């Protein structure tokens, strides 16, 4: 598998990345050399524009064409899969839910295609970033600002991918581990623009310190090359780079607090938390972004689908109508209001246990439909709720409708509020980072730097300023552990379904509770787990260890977590 991905030649690179508009830059029939590409900002800019498309296009990973999998829509699908392995998503009809394997703790070992889903796509995207860094050439003082910015974004993309991979694959205690626990502290193999095919064939899992040093180095390069560069949310700018650094250092802070500070690197949990607080505050103090208002959050046309409709989004991707079909698309899986999609059939909803913890004065409670809540819901496309017999339907003015169940999600709206035309409704932006996350990172970091009182103050300020003014966490928390539980509760409400909560749960060793009296989780998925779920140490795919002698199976792999969770009775 590594050979297929990383056997790079300049001809293959050109065929993959250059458009017809670039052909006009060079004589017809000529062969583009690496030196010519280095001198063409137009060429590598086009290569850069291909990365967001590769991350979100319908069928982008080849899993639909190969296996007929309809959740083959890139990073948003991966993020839905990780959310599915937590506790707060309730699925009404699992037969329609293409991610049921993750939901039901099935088929997640190295022999299954589900295991390839994460691995294959991230390394394909890393290849695209490596290609740009490779042809971008050496950066000097004479390099143009535009050229630096392109290469800087490639470094940031690569860092973001490796950060996700490190957090997904580094095994953390509480899941099944080998008796000698020899894989603790190992992440994934590192492939850069300098890695040869021969090296890729014998490339062991990188130790945590080596991985995070590379991630930080890439982000520091991106910070340098993008300094003072303005950008929209659809391209990586300084704020997104600082946000990635905040994420990185928060992970290191928690890891070293739990595992002990390393003796091979000048890094400690306290230094990492200080950096996390510094970078998250840096983003906030830039003054470019403000948290979503209630009207923006609940907008039936633009809610969580249009970064231009708010200034909370730091980084996101824009999905083109040419890159989606009706079912293999993010909106089709996340929006119950999209009458052409899957969500309205498998009924994407919230765990009742979480919903019941949200006070009525918190407008985020309106993210899910509750007929017993005294609130005037605004539905996308002008749809209205109609009762037909014992069932409730969401009916569009045209007459088309679909059943809607209590606690169904209304958070993610079809683009432009279009619930009938998938070419419009599925062409929605997807948020990868918003300013609210920086506030939460700062709170967690300050809890470990300055203590409980400071963290309570910061959480109160955020909640009272941006969510509901009667909030007071000091009435709810008396101990540090109780505060962490409260902080996680607010993160779960804030970021439900957005794809970042997996890393919070794994970092903080939180458990999951799906099985309880009155649960709305289907019986096939009512797992309870104290501490980390075994599912959260993602397994390296068979294709990798068969082609890479540096990873021996099973001793160098994470253990298969399939059916390790026990159903609640």
**The predicted structure's pLDDT at residue 35:** 59
3 state SS of 318: strand
Mean pLDDT of the chain: 92
For residue 31, is pLDDT > 70? no
Q: Give 29's pLDDT tier (boundaries 50, 70, 90).
A: very low
Which H or E element spans position 166?
Answer: helix 145-169
Instruction: Report which DSSP code applies to 267.
Output: -
* CA Rg value for the chain: 23
Question: How many Cβ atoms sit within 10 Å of the Cβ of residue 99?
Answer: 24
Percent of the chain with pLDDT over 70: 92
Q: In this structure, how many other beta carbons lie within 10 angstroms of the beta carbon of residue 388?
A: 10
| Position 38 pLDDT exceeds 70 | no
Q: What mean pLDDT do residues 421-426 have?
A: 97
pLDDT tens for each residue of 196-208: 999 999 999 999 9
Q: Which residue has the tokens 């993610």?
A: 412
Section 533-543 average pLDDT: 96
- Lowest average pLDDT, out of 111-125, 178-192, 457-471, 534-548, goes to 178-192
- Report helix, strand or coil for 519: coil
Confidence class of residue 228 from pLDDT cuts 50, 70 and 90? Answer: confident
The token pair that represents 470 in the structure block = 């009667």
- Between the alpha carbon of residue 493 and those of residues 3, 452, 459, 507, the distances in Å are 43, 21, 14, 18
pLDDT band of residue 74 (cuts 50, 70, 90) is very high
């Amino acid at each position: 598998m590594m050979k297929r991905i990383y056997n790079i030649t300049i001809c293959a690179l050109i065929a993959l990345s250059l458009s017809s508009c670039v052909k006009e830059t060079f004589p017809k029939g000529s062969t583009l050399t690496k030196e010519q590409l280095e001198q063409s900002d137009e060429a590598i800019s086009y290569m850069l524009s291909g990365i967001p498309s590769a991350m979100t296009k319908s069928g982008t990973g080849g899993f639909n064409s190969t296996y007929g999998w309809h959740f083959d829509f890139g990073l948003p699908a991966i993020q839905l899969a990780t959310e599915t392995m937590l506790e707060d998503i309730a699925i009404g009809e699992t037969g329609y839910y293409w991610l049921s394997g993750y939901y039901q703790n099935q088929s997640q070992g190295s022999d299954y295609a589900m295991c390839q889903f994460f691995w294959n796509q991230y390394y394909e995207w890393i290849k695209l970033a490596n290609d740009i860094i490779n042809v971008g050439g050496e950066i000097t003082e004479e390099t143009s600002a535009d050229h630096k910015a392109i290469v800087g974004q490639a470094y940031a993309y690569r860092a973001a991918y490796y950060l996700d991979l490190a957090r997904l694959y580094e095994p953390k205690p509480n899941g099944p581990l080998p008796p000698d626990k020899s894989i603790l502290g190992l992440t994934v193999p590192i492939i850069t623009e300098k890695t040869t095919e021969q090296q890729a064939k014998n490339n062991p899992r990188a130790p945590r310190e080596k991985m995070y040093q590379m991630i930080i180095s890439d982000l520091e390069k991106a910070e340098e090359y993008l300094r003072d560069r303005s950008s929209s949310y659809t391209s990586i700018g300084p704020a997104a780079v600082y946000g990635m650094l905040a994420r990185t250092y928060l992970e290191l802070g928690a890891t070293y607090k739990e595992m002990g500070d390393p003796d091979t690197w000048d890094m400690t949990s306290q230094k990492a938390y200080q950096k996390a607080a510094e970078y998250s505050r840096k983003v906030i103090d830039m003054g470019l972004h403000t948290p979503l208002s209630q009207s923006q959050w609940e907008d039936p046309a633009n809610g969580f689908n249009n970064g231009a409709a708010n200034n909370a989004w730091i980084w996101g991707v824009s999905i083109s109508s040419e890159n989606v079909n009706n079912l293999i698309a993010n909106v089709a899986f996340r929006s119950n209001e999209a009458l052409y999609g899957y969500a309205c059939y498998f009924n994407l909803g919230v765990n009742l246990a979480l919903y019941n913890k949200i006070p009525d004065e918190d407008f985020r409670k309106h993210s899910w439909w509750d007929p017993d809540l005294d609130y005037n819901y605004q539905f996308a496309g002008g749809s209205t709720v109609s009762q037909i017999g014992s069932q409730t339907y969401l009916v569009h003015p045209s007459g088309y409708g679909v059943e809607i169940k209590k606690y169904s999600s209304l958070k993610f709206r079809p683009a432009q509020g279009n619930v009938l035309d998938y070419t419009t409704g599925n062409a929605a932006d997807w948020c990868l980072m918003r300013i609210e996350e920086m506030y939460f990172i700062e709170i967690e970091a300050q809890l470990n730097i300055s203590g409980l009182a400071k963290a309570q103050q910061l959480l109160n300020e955020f909640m009272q300023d941006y969510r509901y003014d009667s909030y007071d966490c000091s009435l709810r928390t008396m101990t540090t552990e109780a505060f962490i539980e409260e902080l996680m509760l607010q993160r779960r409400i804030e970021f439900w379904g957005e794809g970042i909560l997996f890393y919070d749960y794994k970092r903080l060793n939180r458990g999951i509770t799906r099985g309880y009296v009155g649960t709305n989780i289907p019986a096939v998925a009512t797992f309870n787990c104290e501490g980390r779920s075994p599912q959260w140490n993602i397994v390296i795919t068979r294709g990798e260890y068969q082609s890479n002698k540096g990873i021996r199976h099973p001793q160098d792999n994470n253990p298969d977590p399939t059916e390790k969770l026990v159903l609640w009775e």
